[in-house]
Amino acid sequence: MPITKETPLVIPAKAEKTLPHTWLSELVVNAPNASDGYMSLKLTAFDSDSDEDPNPENSEMLHLDFWEVVTNVPEAAAAMQSVFDAIPAIESYYKEGILEEVPVEEDVEEEAGD
Amino acid sequence: MSKKRPVINYYFMVCEALHEKRTKPLYNTVIRRIKECGDNFYLLGGFEPIDELPVIKVCDFDDYHSCVEKIESVFKKDWNDADWHIICDDDTFVHTENLNLFISKLSKDNLRIYCSQLYEDSVGIFGGAGILMNDKTFKLIQKFVIENGWKENRHFQSHSDIALSKICGRLNRKLKIANKENDKIRVSNPKTMYSFNHDTMKKSQNLINIKGDLITAHIKDMQYVWTDFYEQECPYQSLENAFCR
């Protein structure tokens, strides 16, 4: 049975928004071999002219068979080839950031006191 | 004229929830000795002081993930000048005398971080037993963080030591691009900075013989390897009694 509130809760009307762009917020490729694999994309609608970050609530998930996409979508095949071509450079970049271990230095020479 | 003793800045990351259990015993043992040495100490928390302990509120959160914000503050705030810097958790035991002796043998000109090795065959910065560096290394990281931002946050990273590893990795990449790779930061693992990986070690096994040359120890690991560890006793006081008397 409805009970009348003394102070009604008022939810302000939200201004209408137009989100004309797509932000690729997630791209996952899982390809264990040359015949099996999947890819998933999270596409988030957003407005690049606004200061607001893409809102995950406005996302759509696409789940696809990876090799099927590569075979049937020439743009996807070309994009994946670009990714493969970039792997050595990405690997080098990653390795440059790996910290290297060195032994603790031997007792350093005493500086002359002044 | 005798050589001036190097000054050490100690940064302890603390939280209100473990104030009684950890921070107070730490203050009454390790920090008491730090003060006697005339070195500087900073208790970095996510809360305002609640008693006589001079906690500095450096961030708005005080949960486990806040360690990433607390270590960020180490490189963003102004501290007293020092020759050496060591970043510790609230359960890091420091043998100040042995640390001073260890430091006296090290170079002030290397770009180097000294810490325990948590995983065999893995190189990284592991913080349980403290993260030690000379002022040259500290200032280089500080300059990099101020110029490039910290770029590590609680949403992607929950470990302060791994966050610092990633920062040093970025810094090394930048030095490489600038053809200064000979200046890059490297890691050394002194065997007497004790910290262990619980997943790969056998519990209650006396794996090592901890001797009087202990520099630092991650207290929660001690119960697994130190036969003289009494769980019912305050571990700071146990270590203090065993090694610092």
pLDDT value for B199: 64
| Closest Cα in chain A to B170 | A97
pLDDT value for B31: 96
List phi, psi (to 5°) of A98: -75, 135
State how far the alpha carbon of A83 is from the alpha carbons of A25, A43, A51, A72, B199, in Å.
Answer: 17, 19, 30, 18, 36
Instruction: Say yes or no to pLDDT of A97 above 90.
Output: no
Length, in residues, of chain B: 245
Domain boundaries, chain A: 21-96
Task: Choose the closest CB to B107 out of A108, A113, A114.
Answer: A108
pLDDT value for B227: 65
Query: In angstroms, what separates the C-alpha of A78 from chain B's closest C-alpha?
Result: 29
State how far the alpha carbon of A41 is from the alpha carbons of A56, A67, A70, B157, B231, in Å.
Answer: 13, 15, 14, 23, 51
Length, in residues, of chain A: 114
pLDDT value for A85: 97
Residues of A in contact with B133 (CB under 8 A): none
Task: Choose the closest CB to A113 out of B2, B168, B185.
Answer: B2
Residues of B in contact with A101 (CB under 8 A): 117, 123, 186-189
Contact B170 A97 (CB under 8 A): yes
Across chain A, mean pLDDT equals 92
Residues of A with CB under 8 A from a CB of B: 93, 96-108, 110-111, 113-114
d(CA B188, CA B186): 7
Q: Which pLDDT tens digit goes with each residue over B34-50?
A: 999 999 999 999 999 99
pLDDT value for A113: 41
The CATH number of the domain where B117 resides is what? 3.90.550.50
Give the Cβ contact number of residue B191 at 10 Å. 11
Q: Residues A94-104: what's their mean pLDDT?
A: 90
The verdict on residue B136 lying in a domain is yes
State how far the alpha carbon of B122 is from the alpha carbons of A47, B118, B222, in Å.
Answer: 44, 8, 21
**Parts of chain B with a pLDDT under 70:** 1-3, 198-211, 223-233
The verdict on residue B130 lying in a domain is yes
**ipTM for the predicted complex:** 0.81
The verdict on residue B234 lying in a domain is no
Query: Does A97 or A28 have the greater pLDDT score?
Result: A28
State the residue range of the domain holding B134: 8-193
Could you tell me if A62 and A40 are in contact, meaning their C-beta atoms sit under 8 angstroms apart?
yes
pLDDT value for A112: 43
Instruction: Please give the tally of structural domains in chain B.
Output: 1
pLDDT value for B205: 46
- Counting one residue from A and one from B, how many pairs have CB atoms under 8 Å apart? 60
The verdict on residue B224 lying in a domain is no
Tokens representing residue B137 in the block: 């290394």
The verdict on residue B104 lying in a domain is yes
The verdict on residue B229 lying in a domain is no
